[in-house]
């Protein structure tokens, strides 16, 4: 056997072994009221880290992450059954869109045309459009294709959002790729095209708790957000259009800080948000993925970094959790028992010309990536 042939065979064997270290399995998760079958896909990497993802809403139902002793714990809030997700879910672990976050009054203009999207939430007595409307991307059945790659377990989800659905113009073709890598990262890549000028702002809405879901409080995590400003909100929880410096405020997380030390500070923006539920304007130097935020739990060593190509990140401290929801562990999800770090364009951007544009036109491609990278300290 020649050296070249031996090298080729060795490379093929290595590729197979690496691929075999990652795996994707599928099982039936339930059935929608219309009779459509829903499936649950389990992505596992070479280190035993695992993500369970359903093609209903693209929901990450479970994310098992090791601590400094190698013990795996589920670090995202959620349910064990499809029925629970159908009955009541505060956007646990889902893909959010067509427009993530809020649009004031559900109104915006595009190319001189007025649009009214559904208003499905209310704040300060004023209706707003939230997370894509009554039937956003979190409540639809996606087509799913699992792939076992060389260094990652992959799930490709696709969906076509019909023209006029929830008031949005355009048939919007969306692809979301989840990759669980051997570097213990859960990567989310979004792609979309449209046949009419529209708006788009996709994000992921996992509620994290690095103690393990249903255990302890994430308010004692050490949180860092790489931002010098937030977009302050009104009583309707939509941006005023201004940029508020975080310096000297409870919103300064440029150095790792426990949210619980300042979440109830006497500050008008804390009062309006009922805690933290704001968009941070990320410090960015280019268009590639950059570190946006991190969270660290000293008691077990779990450390999560959020990298993104997006200009903003919503830190939501779980202010609407009230103990009425019982999660996978059988424990109630108490007040602020989970937090979200939602990478995004700014809320209500279509109504603020000074905000980065969320317009998508025919012939253009919406592409953005976010990665949740896990390690220990």
Query: Tokens 């203009």 label which residue?
Result: 109
- Alpha carbon dihedral 224, 227, 229, 233, in 10-degree steps, equals -60
Q: What phi and psi, each to the nearest 5 degrees, are found at residue 138?
A: -75, -10
The Cα 153–Cα 149 span in angstroms is 6
Preceding amide of 98 cis, omega within 30: yes
**If we measure between CA atoms, which residue out of 155, 175, 168, 163 comes closest to residue 45?**
155
> Which residues partner with 230 through β-bridges?
244, 280
Q: CB–CB of 190/331 below 8 Å? A: no
Query: Tokens 């919406």 label which residue?
Result: 366
Residue 342 a catalytic site member: yes
286 burial level (CB within 10 Å; 0-12, 13-18, 19+): exposed
The Cα 62–Cα 152 span in angstroms is 17
Residue 205 a catalytic site member: yes
The Cα 70–Cα 51 span in angstroms is 16
205, 229, 278, 345: the active-site residue: 205
> b or e along 309-344 (b: 16 or more beta carbons within 10 Å of the residue's beta carbon)?
bbbbbbbbbbeebeeebebbeeeebeebbbbbbbbb
The Cα 218–Cα 340 span in angstroms is 11
How far is CA 164 from each of CA 14, 118, 131, 362, rounded to the nearest angstrom?
49, 11, 16, 16
166, 187, 236, 342: the active-site residue: 342
- Token pair recorded at residue 232: 């302050």
Where in the sequence numbering do the catalytic residues fall?
Answer: 205, 342
């Amino acid at each position: 056997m020649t050296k070249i042939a031996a090298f080729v065979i060795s490379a093929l064997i290595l590729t197979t072994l690496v691929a075999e270290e990652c795996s994707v399995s599928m099982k039936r998760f339930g059935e929608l009221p219309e009779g459509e079958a829903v499936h649950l896909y389990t992505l596992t990497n070479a280190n035993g880290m695992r993500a369970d993802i359903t093609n209903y809403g693209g929901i990450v139902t479970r994310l098992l992450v090791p601590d400094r002793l190698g013990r795996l714990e589920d670090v995202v809030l959620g349910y064990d059954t499809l029925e629970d997700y159908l009955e009541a879910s505060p956007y646990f672990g889902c893909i959010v869109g067509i427009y993530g976050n809020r649009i004031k009054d559900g109104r915006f203009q595009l190319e001189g045309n007025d649009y009214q999207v559904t208003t499905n939430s209310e704040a300060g007595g004023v209706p707003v459009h939230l997370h894509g409307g009554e039937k956003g991307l979190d409540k639809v059945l996606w087509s799913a294709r699992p792939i076992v790659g060389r260094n990652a377990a992959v799930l490709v989800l696709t969906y076509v959002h019909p023209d006029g659905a929830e008031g949005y113009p355009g048939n919007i073709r969306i692809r979301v790729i989840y990759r669980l890598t051997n570097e213990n990262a859960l990567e989310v890549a979004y792609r979309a095209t449209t046949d009419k000028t529209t708006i788009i702002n996709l994000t992921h809405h996992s509620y994290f708790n690095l103690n393990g879901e249903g255990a302890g409080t994430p308010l004692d995590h050490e949180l860092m957000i790489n931002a010098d400003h937030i977009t302050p909100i009104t009583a309707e929880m939509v941006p005023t259009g201004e940029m508020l410096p975080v310096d000297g405020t409870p919103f300064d997380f440029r150095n790792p800080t426990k949210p619980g030390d300042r979440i109830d500070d006497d500050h008008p923006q804390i009062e309006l948000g009922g805690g933290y539920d704001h968009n941070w304007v990320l410090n960015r130097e280019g268009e590639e993925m950059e570190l946006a935020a991190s969270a660290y739990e000293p008691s077990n060593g779990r450390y999560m970094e959020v990298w993104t190509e997006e200009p903003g990140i919503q830190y939501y401290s779980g202010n609407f959790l009230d103990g009425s929801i019982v999660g996978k562990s059988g424990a109630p999800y108490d007040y602020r028992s989970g937090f979200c770090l939602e990478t995004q364009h700014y809320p209500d951007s279509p109504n603020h010309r000074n905000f980065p544009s969320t317009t998508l036109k025919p012939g253009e491609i919406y592409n953005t990536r976010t990665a949740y990278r896990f390690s220990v300290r």
